[in-house]
Structure 1
Amino acid sequence: MSGALAPFWRASSLEVFEAAPFTGDHATDLAIVGGGYTGLSAALQAAGQGASVTLLEAETVGHGGSGRNVGLVNAGLWLPPDDLCRALGSEAGEHLTAVLAAAPDLVFALIDDHAIACEPMRHGTLHLAHAPRGTAQLRARLAQMQARGAPVQLLDGCEVAARTGTDAFHAALHDPRAGTIQPLAYARGLARAAREAGAELHEHSPVTGVEHRDGQWCVTTAQGTLRAKRLLMATNAYHTPAPPLRLPEMPVVQFYQLATEPLGDNRAREILPGGEGCWDTGLVMTALRRDAAGRIILGGMGGAGAIHADWAARKLAQLFPQLRGISVPHAWAGRIAMTGDHLPRIQRLGPEGFAVYGYSGRGIGPGTVFGKAVAGALLTGDETDLPVPVIAVHHEPLARLKTLYYETGARLVHLISARG
């Protein structure tokens, strides 16, 4: 994502947050690099426990994926529970499944506790079968989720058409635990809450170096040095080099989105009348939702550019012919760090230092949960309740080639799809 397209969420956010750049030489209990969901959740948690916290953000809070996503608060990852257990082992897989099942509870509790003005709507999500084979995928996921007590329900095509306003989908899995938010406003609200709890946050403070020496972490910027006993790197898909520290290079998936003008009351009653957020079973995934003002937000894998813009316009018209000719004044794109197995990682960087990355497109719930958990582990030294086991090293082979593969695949699919 080139950064040329500013996300619509900046214009519609009721939460406002600004912070001065970091300057001088300071010490803190916990240094956090990255002002997205993970870093902000960690800052809020640590400050609430009485620790001194300093967070450094290279751009502005929520500049990366936290301010560029569709805003779906899901209760899990892309992978179904059985796949998690095969990848992590039964005990660790079940633990991660349970932790992420409760992630929306944490997100919406934080929104309530701190009065975050981020358009929270907890009406569930619809995982849509984009083709008949998608229905079989949903049935398998349904059985796995229900076996673990999840209150999910499989809807037939008629019910899906009534809930979405289009007959383009064959079935859907409804998860009432999930919901939608204004994603940038949520990030800004977390930042405000963290600062109110005592955390020091700094924007426009790109980190130029990170190293552990003389028993502490030294984090340098162009205008200052931060010394900390503990470190959290929470840069994910927007990481930039901070030598001598090195993080693994991640394959990157770009995600293109558009937002229509607000719909009138009549149109709004026809399209997603229940307010659910949606994502489909397509290999090149599409997401769909409505915001509080009645705008339709549609997104799909792929970066900024005419191919994805043309696809999105065609897709919108295909799904909702009644919207042909509607103004689409907003378009933007963001980056997703996509691990090869679609599992997030907590990597040990050194003494009392962690990096968290690789949510693979599920940042809101997991980022909030992982940030809180990692902050607790760093402050107490107890790692037993972390969502995933800590790893010493991680390597993504052919990361740049995979990035090219993902974008090329998305371009090819979008060139030919949603036509006719």
Structure 2
Amino acid sequence: MAEPFPLAPSLWATTAPPGPETPPLTESGQADVVIVGGGFCGLSTALHLAERGIRPVVLEAREVGFGGSGRNGGQVIPGLKYDPADLVAKFGPERGERLARFAGSTADTVFDLIARHAMDVPHRRAGWIQGAHTEAGLAEVARRAEQWAGLGAPTRVLDRSETARLLGTERYLGGWLDGRGGAIQPLSYARGLARAALKAGAAIHGQTPVTGLSRSGSTWTVTTAQGARLSTERVVLCTNGYTGGLWPGLAQTVIAANSFQVATKPLSDNLRRSILPEGQVSSDTRKLLLYFRLDHTGRLLMGGRGPFREPRTPRDWAHLERIVGKLFPQLDGTAFDHRWCGRVAITQDYLPHLHEPAPGLLIDIGCQGRGVGLQSTMGRAIAQYIATGDADSLPLPLTPIAPLPMHAFHRLYVSAIIAWYRLSDGGIR
């Protein structure tokens, strides 16, 4: 049977070095910790556990980085959807400020890991620009820049002309620059995390779907599709946008929206110098945001929402190709040679969620479109929690699993919202 259209190679799959060997699990055994999911969170958790002398085993249904971790835009953006003052209002002064500092450190985690483990990952840390397309957006970015500057972040508010110069488009009224952000090749980074975890003593098995979890006393049994089983006292689930029915109700706590991306063919030197000339990455203040950057091969990437369903033909990316021409008229007629998508787990409150529904089972879900830094740092926090038992190691409180009411209708709702935003959200669609 032919490979389905959605799995056509992404830009990252065609430009990343080969991943490490992660053979399927074929024999039953024991592990200190079993981690389900070989994305950023699972791999970071495995690496940080192994560095503490705890033996983790990662079980991945496909291959390392197959899901959203290897299919995102490669933008490393610190913070959360909430600004620091909002987090303090929501969680109180102590926990709110601690969460803000955690969120603000997430980009540091990524670039520190790349450097510390000498990963073969194309990367650049020139900052992130958030462009504002309305007057309300201008007020929003000014407030955001001021709050993060108050926590020591290198931020700068940009006027219209500076925004146009740095982005290469005149479509925005202004913006702000956060110097902590940057760009990576995300699949290379996932594979780099896997190599580092293996070197530290973790075991990783690809092509090993987990089909069952059961608990007897303090021991969990993790069953795989091949029939091999692992016994452990600790299980960590971090499957995010690719969460299935392994644990009751979990998949119904998120909307696993598809994030679509296109990439041009490599641009000429003149065109490259006219777009993001100082190497920043960018996403904007639209409700249905656009995000774009240049990659290490000189291609322009444009990302945004598309159909909730899996794509069927290249026409499902046509809206992004049109947007490229509208944002950057100098690229009119430029050809595109990569189209791909990946699922992003979005919670109702736009925060990551941590659950411990049974002793020895920890669940992390909800990357909110900022998973590169967020989930890398979450993995470190989860490892500390497992090693010490101290719940204060976690950036967020443990909460009960709460499925969204009428979850089956949310796909229709999200599809309708996407259609509405395209009509009303700044006139560029």
- With the shorter chain as reference, the TM-score category is over 0.9
Displacement after TM superposition at 1:403 (Å): 2.9
- 2:335 matched residue in structure 1: 327
Displacement after TM superposition at 1:412 (Å): 4.3
Displacement after TM superposition at 1:393 (Å): 3.1
Displacement after TM superposition at 1:38 (Å): 0.4
How many matched pairs? Answer: 418
The 2-side partners of 1:300 and 1:323 are apart by: 18
Pick which of 329-338 and 146-155 moved more.
146-155
The 1-side partners of 2:46 and 2:238 are apart by: 11
Across the aligned residues of Structure 1 and Structure 2, the Cα RMSD in angstroms comes to 1.8
**Superposition pairs for residues 208-219 of structure 1, below 5 Å?**
208-219=211-222
The secondary structure found in structure 1 opposite 2:99 is: helix
- 1:418 matched residue in structure 2: 428
The 2-side partners of 1:77 and 1:397 are apart by: 24
Query: Per-residue displacement from partner, 1:219-246 (whole Å, max 9, x unpaired)?
Result: 1012210111111001011012226x55
Query: Cα gap change, 1:264/1:2 in structure 2, threshold over 3 Å: closer, same or farther?
Result: closer
Displacement after TM superposition at 1:7 (Å): 2.1
The 2-side partners of 1:145 and 1:398 are apart by: 37
**Superposition pairs for residues 120-159 of structure 1, below 5 Å?**
120-159=123-162
Query: Per-residue displacement from partner, 1:176-223 (whole Å, max 9, x unpaired)?
Result: 011110111111100111011111100011110012213211110122
Query: Per-residue displacement from partner, 1:152-181 (whole Å, max 9, x unpaired)?
Result: 111011001111111111111100011110
The 2-side partners of 1:247 and 1:339 are apart by: 11
Of residues 80, 83, 97, the one that matches 1:80 is 83
Of residues 387, 390, 396, the one that matches 2:395 is 387
1:89 pairs with 2:108:
no
Query: Cα gap change, 1:94/1:126 in structure 2, threshold over 3 Å: closer, same or farther?
Result: same
Contact conserved, 2:346 with 2:366, CA < 8 A, in 1?
yes
- 1:263 matched residue in structure 2: 267
Task: Kindly provide the amino acid, as one letter, of the partner of residue 406 in structure 1.
Answer: V
The 1-side partners of 2:187 and 2:177 are apart by: 25
**Superposition pairs for residues 246-257 of structure 1, below 5 Å?**
246-249=249-252, 250-257=254-261
The 1-side partners of 2:216 and 2:89 are apart by: 39
- 1:300 matched residue in structure 2: 304
Pick which of 102-111 and 380-389 moved more.
380-389
Query: Per-residue displacement from partner, 1:115-160 (whole Å, max 9, x unpaired)?
Result: 1122110000001112232111112212322233322111011001
Task: Kindly provide the amino acid, as one letter, of the partner of residue 271 in structure 1.
Answer: I
Of residues 45, 67, 77, the one that matches 1:64 is 67
Pick which of 370-379 and 135-144 moved more.
135-144
Contact conserved, 2:385 with 2:394, CA < 8 A, in 1?
yes
Of residues 154, 179, 185, the one that matches 2:188 is 185
Query: Per-residue displacement from partner, 1:302-348 (whole Å, max 9, x unpaired)?
Result: 23366652211111001111111111010111111111110111101
Query: Cα gap change, 1:415/1:129 in structure 2, threshold over 3 Å: closer, same or farther?
Result: closer
Query: Cα gap change, 1:413/1:391 in structure 2, threshold over 3 Å: closer, same or farther?
Result: closer
Task: Kindly provide the amino acid, as one letter, of the partner of residue 242 in structure 2.
Answer: Y
- 1:372 matched residue in structure 2: 380
Task: Kindly provide the amino acid, as one letter, of the partner of residue 302 in structure 1.
Answer: G
Contact conserved, 1:15 with 1:118, CA < 8 A, in 2?
no
- 2:231 matched residue in structure 1: 227
Contact conserved, 2:24 with 2:205, CA < 8 A, in 1?
yes
- 1:46 matched residue in structure 2: 49
Identity of aligned residues (%): 38
1:31 pairs with 2:34:
yes
Contact conserved, 1:30 with 1:229, CA < 8 A, in 2?
yes
The 2-side partners of 1:6 and 1:412 are apart by: 30
Displacement after TM superposition at 1:392 (Å): 3.3
Of residues 104, 108, 112, the one that matches 1:101 is 104
Task: Kindly provide the amino acid, as one letter, of the partner of residue 373 in structure 2.
Answer: G
Task: Kindly provide the amino acid, as one letter, of the partner of residue 258 in structure 2.
Answer: Q
The 2-side partners of 1:307 and 1:15 are apart by: 30
Taking structure 2 as the reference length, what is the TM-score of the superposition?
0.93
Contact conserved, 2:32 with 2:55, CA < 8 A, in 1?
yes
The 2-side partners of 1:323 and 1:284 are apart by: 22
The secondary structure found in structure 1 opposite 2:336 is: coil
The 2-side partners of 1:33 and 1:77 are apart by: 24
Contact conserved, 1:348 with 1:390, CA < 8 A, in 2?
yes
- 2:287 matched residue in structure 1: 283
The 2-side partners of 1:364 and 1:117 are apart by: 16
Task: Kindly provide the amino acid, as one letter, of the partner of residue 16 in structure 1.
Answer: G
Displacement after TM superposition at 1:398 (Å): 3.2
Query: Per-residue displacement from partner, 1:359-387 (whole Å, max 9, x unpaired)?
Result: 21110111011111111211221221211
Query: Per-residue displacement from partner, 1:41-83 (whole Å, max 9, x unpaired)?
Result: 0000011111111000001111111011111111101222222
Unaligned regions of 5+ residues in structure 2, if any?
none
- 2:411 matched residue in structure 1: 403
The 1-side partners of 2:361 and 2:269 are apart by: 51
Of residues 242, 246, 261, the one that matches 2:246 is 242
Unaligned regions of 5+ residues in structure 1, if any?
none
Task: Kindly provide the amino acid, as one letter, of the partner of residue 137 in structure 2.
Answer: G
The 1-side partners of 2:421 and 2:109 are apart by: 36
Task: Kindly provide the amino acid, as one letter, of the partner of residue 296 in structure 2.
Answer: A
- 2:114 matched residue in structure 1: 111
Displacement after TM superposition at 1:395 (Å): 3.1
The secondary structure found in structure 1 opposite 2:277 is: coil
- 1:3 matched residue in structure 2: 6
Task: Kindly provide the amino acid, as one letter, of the partner of residue 191 in structure 1.
Answer: A
The 2-side partners of 1:341 and 1:307 are apart by: 32
Query: Cα gap change, 1:415/1:16 in structure 2, threshold over 3 Å: closer, same or farther?
Result: farther
Contact conserved, 1:29 with 1:228, CA < 8 A, in 2?
yes
The 2-side partners of 1:350 and 1:369 are apart by: 24
Pick which of 384-393 and 250-259 moved more.
384-393
Displacement after TM superposition at 1:290 (Å): 0.5
